[in-house]
């Protein structure tokens, strides 16, 4: 009887990153395809694209044009590419004119807590936060919205509210952000397997699957 390989996977991302939403969906599809061949020990790690954003956020179109030095036509072309890549994965991107970018630090604090609440809690919360941000255009800096999302994914809403109001897990999130920055992570998503193998970007499921199969095979050869 073959024992499935067990791999630690750190998925470094931000709730406000569309390629992270794409990468997360792709990674989960790849893991589903590999079910039986491996066991994934998945850890969701924080990265803030815009750590200095105020609570009220900024107009997304103005923010992105300024940040990347592009005009509105280029931005809309980029958005079209993102929507096209996201759709087959079941990720609906509705951001466009009138959308805003939000501060995501409190969302990362909730994700850190969710990671201690059971194997499936953090991934479920992560997916719900992506949907809130990109599909529903909700303000994920709003603690009331965060509490509602947490409760809807099966987490204790009262405990979520207490954590958000107390500032709990702020130090832990900052420490993890610094850790991955020191490790050389400058853009996301970044998928790190066994603290050694890096898969950069929002790759298709096939790319994740192929990379993970190679890592599993190499681990088997090493063990032999």
Which residue has better confidence, 191 or 2? 191
Give the integer Cα–Cα distance in Å for 8 and 192: 8
- Report whether pLDDT(147) > 80: yes
**Cβ-contact 13, 45 below 8 angstroms:** yes
- Number of other CB atoms surrounding residue 194 within 10 Å: 15
The total number of structural domains in the chain stands at 1
Strand partners, 42: 9
Give the integer Cα–Cα distance in Å for 193 and 2: 21
Give the integer Cα–Cα distance in Å for 212 and 8: 11
Give the integer Cα–Cα distance in Å for 208 and 130: 20
Residue 124 confidence class, pLDDT cut points 50, 70, 90: very high
Provide the domain limits for residue 179: 5-223
CATH number for position 74: 3.40.30.10
Place of tokens 């067990």: 6
Task: Quick: pLDDT tens for 173-195.
Answer: 999 999 999 999 999 999 999 99
Which residue has better confidence, 55 or 180? 180
Average pLDDT (205-218) is 95
Average pLDDT, the chain: 94
* Helix, strand, coil share of the chain (percent; to 5): 55, 15, 35
Alpha carbon distance, N-terminus to C-terminus of the chain: 15
Give the integer Cα–Cα distance in Å for 185 and 200: 10
Average pLDDT (1-21) is 90
In sequence order, what are the residues at sequence separation of 6 or more whose Cβ sits closer than 8 angstroms to the Cβ of residue 5?
A: 37, 38, 39, 216, 219, 220
Residue 2 confidence class, pLDDT cut points 50, 70, 90: low
Strand partners, 25: none
**Cβ-contact 138, 84 below 8 angstroms:** no
Q: Which two tokens stand for residue 122?
A: 């953090």
Give me the phi and psi of 175, to 5 degrees please.
-65, -40
Q: Which two tokens stand for residue 107?
A: 């969302």
């Amino acid at each position: 009887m073959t024992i499935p390989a067990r791999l630690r996977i750190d998925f470094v991302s931000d709730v406000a990153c569309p390629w992270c939403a794409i990468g997360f969906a792709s990674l989960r599809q790849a893991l589903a395809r590999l079910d039986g061949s491996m066991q994934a020990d998945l850890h969701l790690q924080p990265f803030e694209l815009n750590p200095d954003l105020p609570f009220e956020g900024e107009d997304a179109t103005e923010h992105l044009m300024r940040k990347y030095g592009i005009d509105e036509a280029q931005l809309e072309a980029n958005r079209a590419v993102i929507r096209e890549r996201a759709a087959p994965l079941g990720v609906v991107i509705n951001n466009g004119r009138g959308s805003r970018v939000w501060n995501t630090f409190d969302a990362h604090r909730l994700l850190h807590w969710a990671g201690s609440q059971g194997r499936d809690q953090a991934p479920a919360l992560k997916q719900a936060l992506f949907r809130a941000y990109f599909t529903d255009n909700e303000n994920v800096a709003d603690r009331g919205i965060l509490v509602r999302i947490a409760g809807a994914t099966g987490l204790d809403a009262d405990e979520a509210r207490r954590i958000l109001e107390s500032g709990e897990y702020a130090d832990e999130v900052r420490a993890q952000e610094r850790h991955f920055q020191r490790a050389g992570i400058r853009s996301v998503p970044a998928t790190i397997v066994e603290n050694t193998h890096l898969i950069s970007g929002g790759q298709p499921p096939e790319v994740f699957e192929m990379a993970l199969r190679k890592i599993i095979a190499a681990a088997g050869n090493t063990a032999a």
